[in-house]
């Protein structure tokens, strides 16, 4: 299943993600694809709100991952700084992806084949300054 929506503002992207956060199961992995400045972190903030998290979400650029407690826990990964698959493997992030909670992964390309097959792919494409196309795809079963 695959659907694409157009977002005309950061707020719309936030709301779309918030809605997803409200209806998603507590065992989900979301791979968030998109260039720098696409809106991955804003999307994650909306998702967090939908999961009932009040804390402010900041991008874990240096820590690579941050967890938050909510109605459902959120594990937020930003793999931008990972240089190769070997470095990724040593972090053992798969253990989070198999445990309770919603995992959202910025720069999922860096995890290669270690991403779970059952996941939600979100592609955010820059159209112009305020417009993005957001495609959501459910893979596996
Ligand atoms: N429709 C939109 N959806 C998301 N972000 C948008 C949109 N229009 C403009 N922006 C801007 O794009 C930037 C996205 O930043 P961020 O979420 O940090 O991106 P990323 O994490 O993908 O690098 C923000 O400055 C935001 O205000
Ligand atoms: Mg980001």
1-59: pLDDT as tens digits: 899 999 999 999 999 999 999 999 889 999 999 999 999 999 999 999 999 999 999 98
User: Is pTM beyond 0.85 here?
Assistant: yes
Q: Are 50 and 139 in contact (CB under 8 A)?
A: no
The length of the chain, given as a count of residues: 141
- How many domains does the structure of the chain reveal? 1
Which atom of ligand 1 lies nearest, measured to the CA of 32? 22
Our answer on whether the CB atom of 46 is closer than 6 Å to any ligand 1 atom is no
Domain housing 102: 2-138
73-92: pLDDT as tens digits: 999 999 999 998 888 888 88
Neighbours of ion ligand 2 (CB under 5 A): 40-41, 59
Q: Are 46 and 14 in contact (CB under 8 A)?
A: yes
23: CATH: 3.40.50.300
Q: Are 95 and 68 in contact (CB under 8 A)?
A: no
């Amino acid at each position: 299943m695959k659907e694409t929506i157009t977002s005309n503002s950061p707020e719309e992207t936030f709301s779309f993600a918030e809605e997803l956060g409200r209806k998603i199961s507590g065992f989900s992995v979301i791979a968030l694809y998109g260039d720098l400045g696409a809106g991955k972190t804003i999307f994650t903030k909306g998702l967090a709100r939908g999961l009932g998290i009040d804390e402010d979400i900041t991008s874990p650029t240096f820590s690579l991952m941050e967890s938050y407690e909510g109605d459902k826990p959120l594990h937020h990964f930003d793999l931008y700084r990972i240089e190769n698959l070997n470095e990724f493997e040593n972090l053992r992030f798969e253990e989070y992806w198999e445990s309770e909670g919603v995992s959202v992964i910025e720069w999922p390309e860096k995890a290669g084949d270690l991403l779970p097959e059952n996941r939600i792919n979100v592609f955010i494409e820059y159209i112009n300054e305020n417009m993005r196309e957001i495609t959501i795809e459910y893979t596996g079963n």
